[in-house]
Amino acid sequence: MANVIPDSAERFSKFAEFYDRVRPHPPEELASLLRQWSGTTDPDVVDIGCGTGLSSTIWPEVTGVEPSAEMRAIAAQRGIRVVDGTGEETGLPDGCADIVTVSHALHWFDAARAFPEIARIMRPGAVLAAFDFDWPPAVDPEVDAAYRDFETVHHALEAERGLRPSFAPKSEHLQRLRESGLFRHVNEVCLHMKETGDAARFVDFAASQGGVIALLEEGVSEDALGLTRLREVAARRMADRTTWWWTCRVRLATR
């Protein structure tokens, strides 16, 4: 019998502190892009699915919306105003936002309910930015190949054990936003960012996925997941702190 797949709040609540420690912050240039795109210099910003607040840190003031109590607690420690809500039910008033951001979360949303809800809280001319980093960051060809092998294995194991969520591929975000009919203009841009990290953080980053955590909790070994091999390759190729080259893919939708 297949296991019941938890929703995103439950899935990520189990390792909120670990998630916060290893995931990247968004590029600082994103705030400048969105101010320009929305035509506002002092925007009211809503960050839906803000998690631990990593995605909110580029703004001096922001309202976060997050269903996980564990993640809300970490965001609040950062000084972020965060409310209990979802992409489908934010609990926020009509027309309260000049900018709405959704980081690594749009694929979890029920688009039929979430897109109208997002449009409802947007002022005329407001912009939605749904962004994701391309995984993994570019570090080294051998490390990249080992990561791809690990990804293939854990996706197959998730599907085999009934742990693979059913959500729309991120590659379809742009088309779904266009087809919603709720936004007058939709486009996609890519921003690039670099940071540094060591082999241990790279492996932790790879492991900071809900499906990987669920498999480890079920007793699947790191060897079987491919994490052991990834750790060995990363340790050999990333002896010191190495530059990580990130691509941030941003879907822009103007109300």
Render pLDDT for 82-95 as a digit per residue (tens, 0 to 9): 999 999 999 999 99
Report how many domains make up the chain: 1
CB contact burial 139-148 (16+ within 10 A = b; e otherwise): bbeebeebbe
Please check the confidence at residue 1 and state whether its pLDDT lies above 50. Answer: no
Please check the confidence at residue 204 and state whether its pLDDT lies above 80. Answer: yes
Please report the pLDDT score of residue 9 as a whole number: 55
User: Is there a contact between 173 and 106 (Cβ–Cβ < 8 Å)?
Assistant: yes
Q: For residue range 55-79, what is the model confidence (pLDDT) as tens digits?
A: 999 999 999 999 999 999 999 999 9
Q: Tokens 């879907």 correspond to what residue?
A: 251
In the chain, % of residues over pLDDT 70: 94
Please report the pLDDT score of residue 72 as a whole number: 96
Bridge partners (DSSP) listed for residue 82: 64
Torsion region of 218: left, alpha or beta (phi above 0 gives left; psi -120 to 50 gives alpha): alpha
User: Is there a contact between 117 and 87 (Cβ–Cβ < 8 Å)?
Assistant: yes
d(CA 106, CA 104): 6
169 pLDDT band, cuts 50/70/90, is confident
Average pLDDT, the chain: 92
**Overall size of the chain counted in residues:** 255
Q: Which of the two residues, 12 and 228, has the higher pLDDT score? A: 228
Q: Which of the two residues, 143 and 169, has the higher pLDDT score? A: 143
Q: What is the CATH number of the domain that holds 123?
A: 3.40.50.150
Q: Which domain holds residue 247?
A: 8-137+166-194+243-254
Please report the pLDDT score of residue 75 as a whole number: 96
* 15 within some domain: yes
* 170 within some domain: yes
CA angle 112, 249, 198 (to 5 degrees): 125
* 199 within some domain: no
* 115 within some domain: yes
- For the whole model, what pTM was predicted? 0.92
Q: What is the mean pLDDT of residues 186-215?
A: 93
User: Is there a contact between 90 and 65 (Cβ–Cβ < 8 Å)?
Assistant: yes
* 124 within some domain: yes
User: Is there a contact between 77 and 104 (Cβ–Cβ < 8 Å)?
Assistant: no
Q: Is 199 exposed, middle or buried (0-12, 13-18, 19+ CB in 10 A)?
A: buried
The stretches of 88-192 forming alpha helices (DSSP H) are 111-121, 141-160, 173-179
Please check the confidence at residue 2 and state whether its pLDDT lies above 60. Answer: no
* 72 within some domain: yes
* 90 within some domain: yes
* 151 within some domain: no
The stretches of the chain forming alpha helices (DSSP H) are 8-13, 16-22, 29-38, 69-77, 111-121, 141-160, 173-179, 199-207, 210-217, 222-225, 227-237
